Homo-oligomer: A and B are copies of this chain.
Amino acid sequence: MTPSFAFELQQEDGQARRGRLVLPHGIVETPAFMPVGTRGAIKGLTIDQVLALNPDIILANTYHLHLRPGDVLVGEFGGLHQFMGWPRPILTDSGGYQVFSLASRRRLSEEGVVFQSHIDGRALSLSPESAVDIQARLGSDIAMIFDECPAWPATSEQVEASMERTLRWARRGREHFLKVSAGQVPGVTSSTPGQVQFGIVQGGTYLPLRDRSAAGTVAVGFDAYAIGGLSVGEPTDVMYEVVAHTASQLPTHLPRYLMGAGMPDDLVECVARGIDMFDCVLPTRNARNGQLFTRHGPIAIKNAKFARDASPPDPDCACATCQRHSRAYLRHLFMAGEMSAAALNTVHNLHFYLDTMKAIRKAIESGTFSAFRREFHATYSRRPSE
């Protein structure tokens, strides 16, 4: 019988790792990028279009789905997979990121967080326990622990206090998750038997705090571990340093997920530091703003120089958008405010991200990741590789 959760580390190349993650709804080849479908849809695309892009896993959001349409409703439909018509794995973040991004609309206490709904102002609370319940009803393959994502910059005292609370929440959340999984919490039915739970390491940019957070989180004992609290405004070099340091503190036999990162070169650099999973809104959000990623760096499609440019966004790209359309047409759609622009740009950007991950996986398999990394930077970021 196939286990509903397993991680097979197939190959290493320096710190870069090629793996295979088995989840209840399917297999994720790592390193993997997870397109973001916050409210149960990848913005601008249909599920058929997402399937054609062929990601192994997508991400959805606990806070937003709890708010609307509600996890109880989604649970009645048999979970988010059935509700949105997505057959493959889903990871749900816990709402911890909204503690950061909706800072002006929430009150934090030891118990949890009370948000003022960004839709109608009504109060909405999330706690380590309720975040587990919500994600159980949503039935994601991977549930994230409820954490506190501190702002940057913050003093070490602030980050330490936050990190310690996240650890206390980790213990509560894990305990509750095990109860829910065992069917011991009345009124909470998991839509996906075999759902797993990832812990999240915090500690801001303070390496000693990262060490304590990693040790404490691993001691709780999760199915795997994520690095949170980055990509919140800190310099890229600092992020890379924290990623490298924190990854080295995490179990080698489990997948490591860097939350919320990043630009295409960040993916390459963080794989080089031992990361296996990524999610980021950049390819989708920037697509809607007219930024297209290409092998030679990003371009702003509204630029007047593209008005008569008959070449595709990226001449080396095999995506449906590049196969059919010119920069001139995409510029026209963007300037005219046509919704189709968002769809076509999103298809391209997600393809670029997923294709980059595929190239990364291939490079690791063949032991040529260093060369790939050098070459990628030479064409994409023109930044010297380390």
A binding-site residues for B, Cβ under 8 Å: 39-49, 68-69, 73, 76-77, 83-85, 307-308, 310, 320-321, 324-326, 328-329, 331-333, 335-336, 338-344, 347
Cβ-defined partner of A340 (8 Å) among B45, B77, B307 = B45
Tell me if B46 and A338 are in contact (CB < 8 A): no
For A333, the closest partner residue in chain B by CB is: B41
Tell me if A46 and B329 are in contact (CB < 8 A): no
Tell me if A328 and B45 are in contact (CB < 8 A): no
Given contacts A69-B328, A83-B328, A328-B83, are A39 and B336 in contact (CB under 8 A)? yes
For A64, the closest partner residue in chain B by CB is: B336
Cβ-defined partner of A325 (8 Å) among B85, B320, B328, B344 = B85
For A47, the closest partner residue in chain B by CB is: B324
Q: Which residues of B contact A336 (CB under 8 A)?
A: 39, 68
A-B contact pairs, 25 of them (CB 8 A): A39-B332, A40-B332, A40-B333, A41-B341, A44-B343, A46-B321, A46-B343, A47-B324, A48-B320, A49-B49, A68-B335, A68-B336, A69-B328, A69-B332, A73-B308, A73-B328, A76-B308, A77-B310, A83-B326, A83-B329, A84-B329, A85-B324, A85-B325, A339-B339, A339-B343
Given contacts A68-B335, A310-B77, A343-B343, are A329 and B40 in contact (CB under 8 A)? yes
Q: Which residues of B contact A76 (CB under 8 A)?
A: 308
Q: How far is the CB of A98 from chain B (nearest CB, A)?
A: 16
Tell me if B344 and A307 are in contact (CB < 8 A): no
A77, A329, A333 pick with most chain B CB within 10 angstroms: A329
Besides A40-B332, A41-B333, A45-B343, 10 new A-B residue pairs in contact (Cβ under 8 A), listed by A number:
A39-B333, A41-B341, A43-B340, A47-B324, A49-B49, A73-B307, A73-B328, A77-B310, A83-B328, A85-B324
Tell me if B320 and A46 are in contact (CB < 8 A): yes
Q: How far is the CA of A25 from the CA of B21 in the complex (A)?
A: 49
For A69, the closest partner residue in chain B by CB is: B332
Q: How far is the CB of A83 from chain B (nearest CB, A)?
A: 6
Tell me if A339 and B47 are in contact (CB < 8 A): no
Q: Which residues of B contact A324 (CB under 8 A)?
A: 47-48, 85
Given contacts A73-B308, A307-B69, A307-B73, are A43 and B339 in contact (CB under 8 A)? yes
Q: How far is the CA of A307 from the CA of B69 in the complex (A)?
A: 8
Tell me if A85 and B329 are in contact (CB < 8 A): yes
Q: Which residues of B contact A328 (CB under 8 A)?
A: 69, 73, 77, 83
Q: How far is the CB of A358 from chain B (nearest CB, A)?
A: 21
For A340, the closest partner residue in chain B by CB is: B41
Q: Which residues of B contact A310 (CB under 8 A)?
A: 77
Tell me if A46 and B332 are in contact (CB < 8 A): no
Q: Which residues of B contact A40 (CB under 8 A)?
A: 329, 332-333
- Give the 3 A-B residue pairs with the shortest CB-CB distance, closest first: A85-B324, A41-B340, A69-B332
Given contacts A77-B326, A85-B324, A328-B83, are A339 and B69 in contact (CB under 8 A)? no
Q: Which residues of B contact A344 (CB under 8 A)?
A: 46
Given contacts A83-B328, A307-B69, A332-B69, are A46 and B77 in contact (CB under 8 A)? no
Q: Which residues of B contact A331 (CB under 8 A)?
A: 69
A84, A340, A341 pick with most chain B CB within 10 angstroms: A340
Q: Which residues of B contact A69 (CB under 8 A)?
A: 307, 328, 331-332, 335
Tell me if A39 and B307 are in contact (CB < 8 A): no
Q: How far is the CB of A336 from chain B (nearest CB, A)?
A: 5
